[in-house]
Amino acid sequence: MSVKWVTSQFLKKKFYSKVNVPKAKRIYQMKKEFHLIIIISLFALTLSHQTAFAREESDTAAQISPSLSLNYWCNSNDSATLTARIFFNRDKDMICLKNAVISFSATDGNKIVPLGVAVADSTGNAVLTCSTASLPAKEGMITYNADFTGAGKYLPATGSFSAKPAKLEVSFYEQDSVRYIKVTGTVKDAKGNPVPFADQGIKLYVPSLFRPLPIGEITLDKDGAGNMEFPKTLVGDSLGNITVMAEIEENDVYGNVVASNSIPWAISKHAIQAERPSRELWTPVAPIWMIITLIIMLMGVWAHYVYAVVQLVKIKKSSKKDPYAIK
């Protein structure tokens, strides 16, 4: 059914209903009305299409299969920090699942020990710290699992990580007036007894504003110990306290291992009274010339506005004196 046919039918119907009006005028009026109806219909159609499209989009929302990654940090106090991150990809963007409940567990392949649950934050991270002392291990290796059981349109997801518990310790000593940082490392053998962590590279850091500042790297000897001279240029807090962190990063067997210790050997940070900043374009206080210019300009403009408004007020007042004025 073409638009032309609809037009002709419409015109025919209207034409026979008003036989008394001159023909040309009738056709003109009918055409006018028809165009009006077409415009209104098109507009209504556009609006309804938009609404229908929006509804369709929400109705056909497909189920989403999220990804779950598990990160593991072994701490010096026989504990492990497990960080599970849950997310999914849409249009090349990574979208994190906030408030997803993640269950953590540990297993040796036979026995499963639940470790607890954590809720994902706005970055999709659910963090749990647990003791590694009594976890089931197969030849010293513990497998950690993180499970998301699914919610609504989000399907279940799991992540796992296997690592042998390792332990690092950071200590400090002074010899012949030279200060040293000492790192010792132990791992557990098949029977669960601690043995030296030999030939392992360790990175040393101190905390800084954005990310830890690397201060050196040492390799543990056959006794599982290593040392380096304490840097003399490090700045600590107001008392000279500084925390030194030792880390093994992403080892295939031991995963991430971390330890830290503090010592008041750093340079003390003194609170310096900030001087009043000079008046520049980039400082919090504006240059005097700029303030004066702005004040002069604004005062000049607003004074004229006030003058105009005062004239209006006077016009109003003068009308009250005028006996012929409309009250």
Partner 1 sequence: METPYNQSDLLKEFSPHLERTSVLQMIWIVFLLGVIGLGGFALYTQISKGHIVTGMRDNVVWGIYIVNFIFFMGVSYAGALISGSLHLFRAEWRKPIIRIAEFITIIALLIGPCYILLCIGRLDRLPYLVLFGRIQSPITWDVIAISTDIFGCIIFLYLALLRDIAQIRDFKEISLPKWKKKMYSFLALGYTGTPEQQKRLQNATDIMAAMVISIAIIVYSVLAWIFSVTLQPGWHSTIFGPYFVIAAVFSGCGIMIITMWLFRKIYHLEHYITRRHFVNVGVLMLVLAALFGYFTFSDYLTKWYGSEKNDELLIQLLFKKYYWLFIISNYVGVLLPMIVVGIPKFRTINNITFSAIVVVLALWINRYLIVVPTLESPYLPIQDSRPEWLFYNATWVEWSLTAAGVAVFALLMTLASKFIPVVNVSEMGDKPVPEEEIL
Q: Return residues touching partner 1 (CB under 8 A).
A: 36, 39, 43, 46-47, 50, 92, 281-282, 284, 286-287, 290-291, 294, 297-298, 301-302, 304-305, 307-309, 311-312, 314-316, 318-320, 322, 324-327
**Phi–psi pair at 68, nearest 5 degrees:** -130, 120
**Closer to partner 1 at the Cβ: 17 or 311?**
311
Structure tokens given for 318: 């003068």
Rounded Cα–Cα distance for residues 69 and 53 (Å) = 35
Which residue, among 212, 236, 240, 223, has the nearest Cα to 169 in the 3D structure? 223
Q: Which residues pair with 271 in a beta bridge?
A: none
Rounded Cα–Cα distance for residues 180 and 239 (Å) = 19
CB of residue 219 to partner 1, shortest distance in Å: 34
Cβ atoms < 10 Å from Cβ of 122: 9
Rounded Cα–Cα distance for residues 156 and 97 (Å) = 12
CA 98 to chain centre: 11
Q: Which 3 state secondary structure label does DSSP give 176?
A: coil
Q: Which 3 state secondary structure label does DSSP give 153?
A: coil
CB of residue 51 to partner 1, shortest distance in Å: 8
CB of residue 311 to partner 1, shortest distance in Å: 4
Rounded Cα–Cα distance for residues 42 and 26 (Å) = 24
CB of residue 276 to partner 1, shortest distance in Å: 16
Angle at 160 between CA 156 and CA 165, to 5 degrees: 150
Rounded Cα–Cα distance for residues 173 and 228 (Å) = 10
CB of residue 44 to partner 1, shortest distance in Å: 9
SS3 content of the chain, % helix, strand, coil (to 5): 25, 40, 35
**Closer to partner 1 at the Cβ: 182 or 279?**
279
Q: Are 159 and 101 in contact (CB under 8 A)?
A: no
Rg over CA atoms, the chain: 39
CB of residue 157 to partner 1, shortest distance in Å: 25
CB of residue 320 to partner 1, shortest distance in Å: 7
Q: What is the H or E stretch that residue 25 is in?
A: helix 23-59
CB of residue 155 to partner 1, shortest distance in Å: 24
